[in-house]
Amino acid sequence: MTIKGVIFDLDGVIVTTDNYHYEAWKKLADEEDIYFDRDINERLRGVSRMESLNILLEKATCDYSDNQKKELSERKNNYYKELIKNLNNNAILPGVIDIIQGLKQKGIKIAIGSSSKNTPAILNYIGLGNCFDAIVDGNQIKNSKPDPEVFLKAAHKLNLKPNECVVIEDAVSGVEAGLKGGMKVIAVGFAAKCSSNATLRGEDLTLFSAGEVINI
């Protein structure tokens, strides 16, 4: 099947806001007197904010009600939204613009498939708000990765079949989501380093630099 579309994850593929996430979660954890470090932060890659909060609360010494969890989640997001105001086009990862331009020249449709509800704001901050043919973010899905919903919706918005699309991901949960959705997946960054993971093996997965995407 000829590849007609490329679906990019956002954080870790187009731009990196890992440290902003860490700073926001760390501030929240410190306020609640909950232990949190960068190793725990690594477990939050590619999962929803509420799922991330539940991971953070594993270290809590008391129970939190659903309403309290909602307040904690909103507080963390407010911290994060303040931090990402510092983003600009210099935050775009190396090679991304060349990849996007190369794909467009070939007539290949491009989309964003991200679990982040802050996707529109981030894209606007870095100057790519109007660059993609379709954007699906956490505001439009019920199930976060590794459920394939976000990528299936992106393919649908591109008017393409799943097997006509390639997903580019840096998180293990995102790689799993793409494969479950019946798409080819290119693992970069952190996910590429996890190639020994049995769930990340198969003919539909490729491990190489995002800079080679232009050659698909």
Q: Clarify whether residues 70 and 147 are in a common domain.
A: no
Q: Is 33 marked as a binding-site residue?
A: no
Are 102 and 157 part of one and the same domain?
Answer: yes
With tokens 């020994």, the residue in question is 196
168's enclosing H/E stretch is strand 165-169
Range of the domain at 76: 18-86
R_g over Cα of the chain: 17
The number of domains in the chain is 2
| Residue tagged active-site, from 11, 18, 63, 98 | 11
DSSP 3-state of 67: helix
Q: What is the pLDDT of residue 201?
A: 46
| Catalytic entry in 9, 39, 133, 147 | 9
CA neighbor of 13 nearest in space, from 132, 131, 207, 171: 171
71-122 tens-digit pLDDT: 999 999 999 999 999 999 999 998 899 899 999 999 999 999 998 999 999 9
Is 115 annotated among the ligand-binding residues?
Answer: yes
**Best CA proximity match to 54, nearest among 73, 30, 67:** 73
**Single-letter code of the amino acid located at 171:** A
Rounded mean pLDDT, 19-40: 97
Do 209 and 106 fall within a single domain? Answer: yes
Same domain, 144 and 206: yes
Which of residues 86, 114, 141 is at a domain's end?
Answer: 86
What's the pLDDT at 18?
A: 87
Question: Is 9 in the active site?
Answer: yes
pLDDT at 173 over 70: yes
DSSP state of 93: P
> Residues 105, 171: one domain?
yes
pLDDT of residue 199: 45
- Count other C-beta atoms under 10 Å from residue 211's C-beta: 13
**Are residues 155 and 174 both part of a single domain?**
yes
Q: CATH number of the domain that 36 lies in? A: 1.10.150.240
Question: Based on the domain organization, do 10 and 22 belong to the same domain?
Answer: no
- pLDDT surpasses 80 at 216: no
**DSSP code of 15?**
B
Q: Are residues 151 and 100 in the same domain?
A: yes
73 appears as a binding residue in the annotation: no
The two counts, helices (H) then strands (E), for the chain are 9, 6
Q: What's the sign of the alpha-carbon dihedral 149, 151, 154, 160?
A: negative
Q: Using one digit for the tens of pLDDT, what is the confidence trace for 111-155?
A: 999 989 999 999 999 999 999 999 999 999 999 889 999 999 999
Q: Are residues 94 and 176 in the same domain?
A: yes
The domain boundary residue, chosen from 36, 56, 86? 86
Instruction: Say if residue 62 is in the same domain as residue 114.
Output: no
For the domain that residue 118 is a member of, what is the CATH number? 3.40.50.1000
Is 92 in contact with 98 (CB distance < 8 Å)? no
- Are 76 and 97 part of one and the same domain? no
Q: Tell whether 9 and 62 lie within a shared domain.
A: no
Q: Alpha carbon 33 to chain centroid distance?
A: 28
Residue 191 pLDDT > 90: no
Boundary (domain end) residue, out of 69, 86, 103: 86
- The answer to whether the annotation marks 116 as part of a ligand binding site is yes
Compute the C-alpha angle 70/52/206, nearest 5°.
145
pLDDT digits (tens, 9 = 90+) for 4-28: 999 999 998 999 998 999 999 999 9
What's the full length of the chain, in residues? Answer: 216
